[in-house]
Structure 1
Amino acid sequence: MGERSLISVAIIGGGPGGLGTAIALAQIPFLNVTLYEKNPEPRETGAGISLGANAWKVLDLLGASQGVKGGSKSNTHQRNAYNGKVLNVVEHPETSDAESRGSIRARRTRLQSALLARVPEGIIQFNRKLVHLEDLTDSGVRLVFQDQTEVVADLVVGADGIHSGVRKYLFPEHKLRFTGNTAWRVLIPNSRLTDIPEITTTTAWWWGESGHVYFSDVDEEYEQSDPLFEITIRSYNEPEIPGKTVGWGIPATNKRVFARVKEFDRRIRDAVNLVGEGEWWEFAGFAGPRLDKIIGWNKIALIGDASHPLSGAFGSGATFAMEDGWILARALEYTQFLFHPIQDALEIFDKIRTPYYNKIYEHLDESQEKMQQFRAQNKEFDAILQAKIDLMLYGDKDFIYKNDISKTWKEYFQDEKRQHRP
C-alpha cells in the first residue's frame, strides 16, 4: 500500500471545544491540523466554569487535567433568594478515580490555558474570522476569512459556538431565538466579601421567581493570597432589544445589574454592591431546535454549542465539546484505510453523538413539561421552588455528569466487531 496523503483539517473556533479537538486530532499522523481563531490572541470571555467527573475523564484523555484547579463544589446550597432560607444541601459523594477529584468551579481562563498548553506549536492562527464557506464537491471546502485570506480543507470542524457561522452555511434554515434569559457575571477578590460570610463559605444558588443568583469560589482555598470569587445573576424574562441583545459578553452597568436583585435578600444586595463599576459582563441566552444531523457536505462536523444550541442548559457545554472532538479523532483513526475515510468517520461521529444530544434535549423537554404541569396545579412560590430544585438535583443526569467518553467509544467499537463477525 502506498504512502497515505495528509488530510487537511480546519478547526473554526479557539474555545475549549476547538482546542480540545486540535489536541486530539494533532496526535494523528495522517492529519494536518490548523485551528482558526477570530480573536487576535487567546481569549476566554466569562467567569467560572463547572467541571465534574465527565470533564476530568476527557481532560485526562487530552493530557490537560493537571493544569486545571478551582474551588470545590462539594458543599452546594440551594436557598430562597428573598429570605436566605436553606432548602437543600448537596455533598456530591464521589467514587471513581475521575470523580475523586470532585466537582469544581474554575476560572474559564484556567481551562483555556491548560488546553492551550497541550496544542502543538504552529497549529493556531489568530485574527482569522470566517466569513464564507463553499462546498467544492470533490475537492474539499473553501474557507474565506475577513482578511481576504483563503484556504481549502478536506475536513472542517465547526467549533465556533452557539452563534456558529459554520452551522449557518451547513443548515441555513436553522434559526436561533433569544430565550429571555440573561446572565451578568463577575469575578472579584474574595477579600471584598469577608463581611458577608454566608455568601463566601459555600457554593450556593439563591432562587427567586424571575431569576436567581449563583455564588462560588473559582480558586482553591489556599492557592493564592486572595482567591477570586464568582457572582452570576440570571434573569429569566428580559425583553429582546434589536441590535443590543448580544449573545456573548458586553459590559453592563452596576445600575442595570442591581435592578435585578433589588427585591432579594440583603446579603445578595450587599455582595452585588461590592462589585466595582465596569466589572460586570452581560450574556444573553439564545437557543435553537435540535439538529437531525451534526455533520454535512460529507466533510463538515459541528461540535459543542454549534451542534446543540441549548444556551448552557446543563452547565457542561465545554465538556460536551471536548468529548465531541475526542470521538471525532477516534472515528478518523478507525476509518483511515477505508475508501471514503472522512465521510465514514463523520457518519460514525454523528451516529455516536447525535443520539446523545437528542437524549439531552429530551431530558430538558421532560423537565420543562413537568415544571409547567406543577405550576398549573400550584401557585405557592415555596412549593414551585422546591419542585424546581428537586427536578434540577434529582433527575437522572448521570448520563451527562458521569459520562465516560472512552467507554462510549469502546462500546461502539465492540458493537461494530460483533456486527461484522462472520
Structure 2
Amino acid sequence: MAEPSDFLPLQVAIVGCGIAGLTAAIALRKHPKIRVVLYEKATELKEIGASIALGPNGLRTLQKLGLDNAISDEVAYRGPSNIPMIYRHWKTNEIIGMDVHEDVTEHLHHTARYHRGHLHQALLENVPRSIIHLRKKLVSAKADSQEGVTLEFEDGTIATADILLGADGLRSRVRTSFVPDFELKWSGWTAFRSVFDTSLVESIPDLPLDSAHWWGPDTNFFASRLGKNTYTVVGGVNADPKDSSATFKNVEWNQEASVSLLRDKYSTGINADYTLFLKDWNPVVRALTEVTPSTRFYPNFSGSSLSTWVFGSRATLIGDAAHAHGGAHATGGSLAIDDAYCLFLALLSIFPFTAPRRPSSEEIETALKLYEATRKPHAERLLKKVHAANNAKSAKVGIPEGDEELRARAAKGSDTNWLHEHDVEKAFEETKTWIEGRLLDADDVSAKL
C-alpha cells in the first residue's frame, strides 16, 4: 500500500555551486517532481579562476538543456579557423601541429573559450537564487539507503534529502566524507594564469587570431582570446613533485603571483630558482608576457581513481569531485557538464515525468549505478592517460627535449577526440541496454534452474 510520502517530490541536495553543480541543478529542475537545493560554502556567487574551454561534447549538452545563452558568441570565443588547438614552435613561431575535430559541423559546437566567471554567470541566469544557500561549508555527509542523506554544515545547521550530489570540486568535502583516505598529489606543474582586456594585445605584431599553444623544450605557453573581449595567457614551471624543496611546491590555488615570474620565464636565460629557463622564446610570446598586467598561481593536482562513485545507495559525485584529473586537455568543464546530464538521464530512466510515485530506494540506487557505469570508465581512461603523462614529465625534469623530438610529438597532436566529441547520451543508452541485457540473461538462467 502506498504511503503519503510516496507522492512527495524527490529531494536532491547538491553541494557545490560551480559549473558541475549549476548544470546538474538546471537539468534536474526540468523534472516536475524533483526539488533541488544547492549548498555553497562561498559568501557570494562569484566563480574564481581564469579561462575555461568547452569542447563539442559539453557545448552540445548545454544546447540540449536549452542553455543557448551559455554557448553563444556573446559569451564565448571561437577562433576563425575552427581548429580547436594549434601547436607552434617556441622559438620560430611556426605551426608544428594541430588538433582537428572529426565530426563537428555546427558553429556553436566548435571549441569555445570563456572567462570562467562569464560561463558561471550564464549558468546562474538559469537557476533561481531561492534554491541556492550560501555560507554552507560542509562538515560531514551521511547516506543510508532507507533514511536518505544528512548534511551537517559548519554553522551548525543540518539538511536532509533523498539524494546527494557532491559537485564541490577537486577538494571535495562530500568525497572526503565517504572516502577519507583519498589523496591529491601535486603533478610538479605550477601554472601562471592571467586574464585581462583584449585591448592590451591588439598592437602585438603577428599575434594569431586562433588559440595557440607554443611548445618548448622544458615548458609550454598558451594564449587565446576569450569571450566578452577578454584574453588569457598561461605559462608555467615543471618541477619534480618528489623534491621537497621544489620551487612553488607550496603555493596555493589562485594565489597572487608576481608577473615578473612570467616575464622572466619566457624572456631570459637560465635561472636556478625556477629550474631550466631557455632563451630565445619568439617575440610574440615575449610581447604577450610584457603586456600581461598580473598573474596568479595554479598548482596542478590530480588524484587516483575511486573504487566507486556511489555511497550508501543515495550519494554520488560529479565533476572534479568524481575524477580529479587536474584539468588535462582542457576537458574538465565538459566532463562536469556531461556528468550532470548523464545523472539526469539516469534518474529519468527510473523516474519518468509521468511516474505516479517517487522512486524507491532500490530504484534510486539503480539510477546512481547506471550513471556510474556510464561515466566512470570514460573518466578512468582519462585518469590513466593523465597519470602516465605526469610520470613521464617528472622523469624528464631538468632535461630539455630535443627539437626533433618536440616537433614529432607536436605533429601527432593530442589524440583526444574521444574526449571532446564524446556523445554522453549515446553512451548512456548503450550502457543501459547492456545492463538490461545482462539482467535478462540472468533471469533466463534463473528460470532454467
TM-score by length of 1: 0.87
Q: Is 1:349 matched up with 2:371?
A: yes
Matched residue type, 1:351: A
Q: Is 1:245 matched up with 2:251?
A: yes
TM-superposition CA deviations, 1:236-271 (whole Å, max 9, x none): 22765799422x312111123323223333332222
Q: Is 1:334 matched up with 2:341?
A: no
Separation in structure 2 between the aligned mates of residue 171 and residue 339 of structure 1, nearest angstrom: 22
Separation in structure 1 between the aligned mates of residue 287 and residue 54 of structure 2, nearest angstrom: 28
Q: 1:186 aligns with which of 178, 184, 194?
A: 194
Q: 1:16 aligns with which of 16, 19, 22?
A: 19
Separation in structure 2 between the aligned mates of residue 339 and residue 15 of structure 1, nearest angstrom: 28
- 8 A contact 1:52–1:104 mirrored in 2: yes
C-alpha deviation, 1:54, in angstroms: 0.4
Separation in structure 2 between the aligned mates of residue 348 and residue 338 of structure 1, nearest angstrom: 15
Separation in structure 2 between the aligned mates of residue 84 and residue 273 of structure 1, nearest angstrom: 17
Percent identity (aligned): 26
Separation in structure 1 between the aligned mates of residue 120 and residue 251 of structure 2, nearest angstrom: 26
Q: Is 1:58 matched up with 2:75?
A: no
Aligned residue runs from structure 1 range 342-381, under 5 A? 342-364=364-386, 381=402
Separation in structure 1 between the aligned mates of residue 247 and residue 154 of structure 2, nearest angstrom: 27
Instruction: Give the SS at the match of 1:233.
Output: strand
- 8 A contact 2:196–2:232 mirrored in 1: yes
Could you say if the C-alpha distance between residues 333 and 93 of structure 1 is closer, same or farther in structure 2, counting changes exceeding 3 Å?
closer
Mean Cα deviation higher: 152-161 or 24-33: 24-33
Aligned to 1:126: 134
TM-superposition CA deviations, 1:351-402 (whole Å, max 9, x none): 11111112223344566788899x8xx9862123124324543x2x222111
Mean Cα deviation higher: 92-101 or 319-328: 92-101
C-alpha deviation, 1:283, in angstroms: 0.8
Instruction: Give the SS at the match of 2:266.
Output: coil
Instruction: Give the SS at the match of 2:251.
Output: coil
Q: Is 1:148 matched up with 2:156?
A: yes
Higher CA-based Rg: 2
Matched residue type, 2:127: V
C-alpha deviation, 1:338, in angstroms: 4.7
- 8 A contact 2:144–2:314 mirrored in 1: no
C-alpha deviation, 1:207, in angstroms: 1.6
Could you say if the C-alpha distance between residues 240 and 293 of structure 1 is closer, same or farther in structure 2, counting changes exceeding 3 Å?
farther
Aligned to 1:176: 184
C-alpha deviation, 1:175, in angstroms: 0.7
Instruction: Give the SS at the match of 2:347.
Output: helix
Aligned residue runs from structure 1 range 366-405, under 5 A? 381-393=402-414, 395=415, 397-405=416-424
Separation in structure 1 between the aligned mates of residue 370 and residue 409 of structure 2, nearest angstrom: 37
Mean Cα deviation higher: 2-11 or 358-367: 358-367
Could you say if the C-alpha distance between residues 100 and 127 of structure 1 is closer, same or farther in structure 2, counting changes exceeding 3 Å?
closer
Could you say if the C-alpha distance between residues 97 and 195 of structure 1 is closer, same or farther in structure 2, counting changes exceeding 3 Å?
closer
Aligned to 1:310: 325
TM-superposition CA deviations, 1:260-285 (whole Å, max 9, x none): 22333333222212122xx3122111
C-alpha deviation, 1:47, in angstroms: 2.2
Could you say if the C-alpha distance between residues 52 and 380 of structure 1 is closer, same or farther in structure 2, counting changes exceeding 3 Å?
closer
Aligned to 1:269: 286
Separation in structure 1 between the aligned mates of residue 179 and residue 119 of structure 2, nearest angstrom: 30
Unaligned runs of 5+ in 2: 268-278, 352-358, 445-449
Q: Is 1:409 matched up with 2:424?
A: no
Matched residue type, 1:411: E
TM-superposition CA deviations, 1:127-179 (whole Å, max 9, x none): 21112223467422321222222212222111111111111111112111111
Instruction: Give the SS at the match of 2:330.
Output: coil
TM-score by length of 2: 0.82
Mean Cα deviation higher: 324-333 or 404-413: 404-413
Could you say if the C-alpha distance between residues 339 and 154 of structure 1 is closer, same or farther in structure 2, counting changes exceeding 3 Å?
closer
Q: Is 1:232 matched up with 2:234?
A: yes
C-alpha deviation, 1:32, in angstroms: 2.1
Could you say if the C-alpha distance between residues 241 and 173 of structure 1 is closer, same or farther in structure 2, counting changes exceeding 3 Å?
farther
Aligned residues: 408
Instruction: Give the SS at the match of 2:426.
Output: helix
Q: 1:46 aligns with which of 45, 49, 54?
A: 49
C-alpha deviation, 1:202, in angstroms: 2.9
C-alpha deviation, 1:11, in angstroms: 0.6
- 8 A contact 2:97–2:412 mirrored in 1: no
Separation in structure 2 between the aligned mates of residue 135 and residue 411 of structure 1, nearest angstrom: 29
Mean Cα deviation higher: 227-236 or 135-144: 135-144
Aligned residue runs from structure 1 range 67-86, under 5 A? 67-68=70-71, 69=73, 70-73=76-79, 74-75=82-83, 76-86=85-95
Aligned to 2:265: 260
TM-superposition CA deviations, 1:17-37 (whole Å, max 9, x none): 000011111222332211111
C-alpha deviation, 1:97, in angstroms: 5.1
Instruction: Give the SS at the match of 2:31.
Output: coil
Matched residue type, 2:28: L
Q: Is 1:4 matched up with 2:23?
A: no
Separation in structure 2 between the aligned mates of residue 369 and residue 67 of structure 1, nearest angstrom: 36
- 8 A contact 2:205–2:284 mirrored in 1: no
Separation in structure 2 between the aligned mates of residue 307 and residue 403 of structure 1, nearest angstrom: 18
- 8 A contact 2:301–2:326 mirrored in 1: yes
Instruction: Give the SS at the match of 1:45.
Output: coil
- 8 A contact 2:214–2:220 mirrored in 1: yes
Q: 1:283 aligns with which of 283, 293, 298?
A: 298
